[in-house]
Structure 1
Amino acid sequence: MRLLGTAQKIYSSVNHCFNYRNKVFFSSSAYDINLTVRGVSLQNYIKQLEQEYEDASKGNNFALKTRVHELQPLIQILQERKAIVDNITNLQDLLNEKDDDIKKLAEEEKVTFEKTLATVDEKLLDAVLPPDKDDECRSMVLEVNAGVGGQEAMLFASELFEMYSTFAEHQGWETQIADYTTTDLGGIRHGSLLINGSDVFRYFKHEAGVHRVQRIPTTEKAGRIHTSTVSVLALPQPSEIDISIENKDLKIETKRASGAGGQHVNTTDSAVRITHLPTGISVECQVDRSQIKNRQIAMIKLRALLYQREMESQVEKSQTMRKSQVRSNFRNEKIRTYNFPQDRVTDHRLQGCTVHNLRGFLQGNDALRDLINKLDYNLKVETLLSFVDNKQK
Structure 2
Amino acid sequence: MFEAARSLRDEFAELESQLADPGVIGDPRRSRRAGRRYSELLGIVKALDEYDRLTEDLAAAEELAGDDPDFAAEAASLGARRATAGERLTRLLAPRDPNDSNDAIVQIKSGEGGEESALFAGDLLTMYTRYAEHVGWGVEILEAEGTDLGGYKSVTVVFRAGPAGAAEAPYGVLKFEGGVHRVQRVPVTESAGRIHTSAVGVLVMPDVEGDEVEIDPDDLRIDVYRSTGKGGQGVNTTDSAVRITHLPSGIVVTCQDQRSQLQNREQAMRILRARLVAAAEQEAAAATEQARRSQVRTVDRSERIRTYNFPENRVTDHRIGFKAHNLNSVLDGGLGPLLEALHAADLAERLEQVGR
TM range (shorter): 0.7 to 0.9
Matched, 1:133 2:98: yes
Identity %: 37
The answer on whether the counterparts of 2:183 and 2:307 sit within 8 Å (CA) in structure 1 is: yes
Change (3 A) 1:346 1:54: closer
Matched, 1:369 2:336: yes
Residue equivalent to 1:317: 287
Deviation at 1:214, TM superposition (A): 1.0
Change (3 A) 1:175 1:56: closer
Report the residue type matching 1:133 in the other structure. Answer: P
Change (3 A) 1:211 1:89: same
Deviation at 1:335, TM superposition (A): 1.7
The answer on whether the counterparts of 1:288 and 1:294 sit within 8 Å (CA) in structure 2 is: yes
Residue equivalent to 2:63: 90
User: TM (normalized to structure 1)?
Assistant: 0.71
For structure 1, the residue ranges without an aligned partner over 5 or more in a row are: 1-46, 58-65, 96-102
Deviation at 1:53, TM superposition (A): 7.2
Matched, 1:277 2:247: yes
Alignment of 1:140-179 (within 5 A): 140-179=104-143
Matched, 1:301 2:271: yes
The answer on whether the counterparts of 1:235 and 1:327 sit within 8 Å (CA) in structure 2 is: no
How big is the alpha-carbon RMSD for the aligned residues of Structure 1 and Structure 2?
A: 3.3
The answer on whether the counterparts of 1:322 and 1:383 sit within 8 Å (CA) in structure 2 is: no
Deviation at 1:108, TM superposition (A): 5.5
Report the residue type matching 2:224 in the other structure. Answer: T
Greater mean deviation of Cα atoms: 215-224 or 266-275: 215-224
Residue equivalent to 1:79: 52
Deviations 1:27-50 (A, max 9, x none): xxxxxxxxxxxxxxxxxxxx6x64
Output the CA distance in 2 between the equivalents of 1:312 and 1:106: 54
Greater mean deviation of Cα atoms: 246-255 or 266-275: 246-255
Residue equivalent to 2:324: 355
Deviation at 1:374, TM superposition (A): 2.3
User: TM (normalized to structure 2)?
Assistant: 0.78
Task: Give the secondary structure class of the aligned counterpart of 1:244.
Answer: coil
Residue equivalent to 2:307: 337
Task: Give the secondary structure class of the aligned counterpart of 2:212.
Answer: coil
Output the CA distance in 2 between the equivalents of 1:242 and 1:206: 23
Alignment of 1:1-393 (within 5 A): 50=3, 76=49, 78-95=51-68, 103=69, 105-106=70-71, 109-110=74-75, 112-114=77-79, 116-117=81-82, 119-137=84-102, 139-197=103-161, 199-262=169-232, 264=234, 266-318=236-288, 320-323=289-292, 327=295, 333-351=303-321, 353-364=322-333, 367-388=334-355, 391=356
Deviations 1:57-99 (A, max 9, x none): 9xxxxxxxx9xx898677655534533442443343143xxxx
Deviations 1:180-200 (A, max 9, x none): 111112211111012222511
Task: Give the secondary structure class of the aligned counterpart of 2:329.
Answer: helix
For structure 2, the residue ranges without an aligned partner over 5 or more in a row are: 10-36, 162-167
Report the residue type matching 1:385 in the other structure. Answer: E
Residue equivalent to 2:12: none
Output the CA distance in 2 between the equivalents of 1:144 and 1:309: 17
Output the CA distance in 1 between the equivalents of 2:50 and 2:5: 13
Output the CA distance in 2 between the equivalents of 1:291 and 1:205: 30
The answer on whether the counterparts of 1:168 and 1:175 sit within 8 Å (CA) in structure 2 is: yes
Report the residue type matching 2:283 in the other structure. Answer: S
Task: Give the secondary structure class of the aligned counterpart of 1:90.
Answer: helix
Output the CA distance in 2 between the equivalents of 1:83 and 1:222: 72
Greater mean deviation of Cα atoms: 179-188 or 355-364: 355-364
Output the CA distance in 1 between the equivalents of 2:160 and 2:8: 35
Report the residue type matching 1:354 in the other structure. Answer: K
Count of matched residue positions in the alignment of Structure 1 and Structure 2: 319
Deviations 1:156-184 (A, max 9, x none): 01100121122223322222211111111
Output the CA distance in 2 between the equivalents of 1:56 and 1:263: 54
